[in-house]
Structure 1
């Protein structure tokens, strides 16, 4: 497995205990093959190009999407075959490409614990690094066939739509509905694609593939809402994150949006304060205290529960086995992160 940017081994999703020894080993082996393929493919071309493309790859990451593709392939007649490994790799490469582009749009300084590409080089280099990732991805997709190319054309259309939707903003529309559409398009669809491709390229039954897609979309919604929840309500020592980072950047996530809609003194005060980014610590602390008193926390948790239940319903369409248990536990573990 490739070394991280600091010379250490990157942390990948294969380190997660899936609750079954043989499944743990199979996924760890599969993730090693995915990582090897990533390094081989992204090292192709001119050195000055591959250096930039490998920047975030070497930094590690959870690698949840390729892991889910490998787990999805367990429902087929040929789990973790070479086509599945390629499918898992291209899902991660698409994800990496979106990170390069997102960091430019967000003017981010850090990504995966290292300087973002736009901070280390510049915006043009970061955009081009994302573009070359899409070129590498297209080459591998062509090896998997027209169906995979067509699927990703639709998926990438959704990803771009979500980014554009977020950039333009809700306008006069419902802010919560807008937020849900954005995270479905930016997060849910790519995790759903991992389930789809893992199932398709392992020979899984159509009903299993549909269930895996549905689970992936639902769990993507859970992941994003929980991440946003942690930004506001977590303890720094527990999460490693500074509470209120999104507020400082003027990004209002689900608990905040619900709180802003409240017809209460708390909601009224928040509407007076939250008109853009917050630049001083005292105001951030005050807003966090107001949010703790609001209904936003509980309403966001209710949505998490609803998406978790949706994920569970999709799992009911899959056979009971170690893989289904693993997917069920992964969903519950994600929700448990809110404390």
Structure 2
């Protein structure tokens, strides 16, 4: 019997910088990624109270160009891309042909007939195949630029204050979902006032070859490097779904609280999304015992769903979870979550758990 060969883990342009900073590295979606540096709670608190920076260079970037770019994007997404103007960004979904989501994405409008789509790292190949399968009849060109870009997320209430002395643009004039060219420490970058933590911040697109010096300069001005551990606790407190947990090829996306992402237009998979979801995504508070993905959720002793994400909230000081439960039971006030054969009481909470 021989071992099955495994693909070597991919590395972002910041891999060496993470090792220098003493990061603990873990496999994530085929990538070797930092899970923490100084410690999850310290990194989490830095983002909630000051500012931190994440390496998100593992995300994928596709450029969509051509006279038919808008019509194409309208056909493969659920949100209304026609509302975008150059210099604006939009959260969106790629619905599946048979239901569920291929991915949840961000679309940035660069210029008329030119868009940048950012997709989840683990879905790059799947998304690329899906999009190319639907280009027929559209005057559109797709370019996979995933290897071109380094991407960093500067997040926290002091993000703009710390960046402003080092950027040639007045950040106070840039609203949420703005997307614009800038010079940062003298390097040409694209900045987006977007993020995944529930805090203010900017995502920094930089040529991969220039990512490491920009990262080093961000740390030098006082930003705290933060890893995947803090990224997960922050996004969960903010009630943000994560693909593979709250969204998937088989989960009805309207189980979530994101019905606003679906607009009344023709698009791939519309007939499936228009069906009422059999489950609903809810928030749960527990008092002592943290719960994890897959743990059964019960009402009156009967399993009605399962935990999709769970953690002990550093900000709130108690365990929290998101759970997918049968729609008929989603309005219940109290539940039990089974942990290693024992039921622990949980109280339903509105999402998000935390608002920055």
| TM tier, smaller | under 0.3
Greater share of residues in strand: 2
TM-score after normalising by structure 2: 0.27
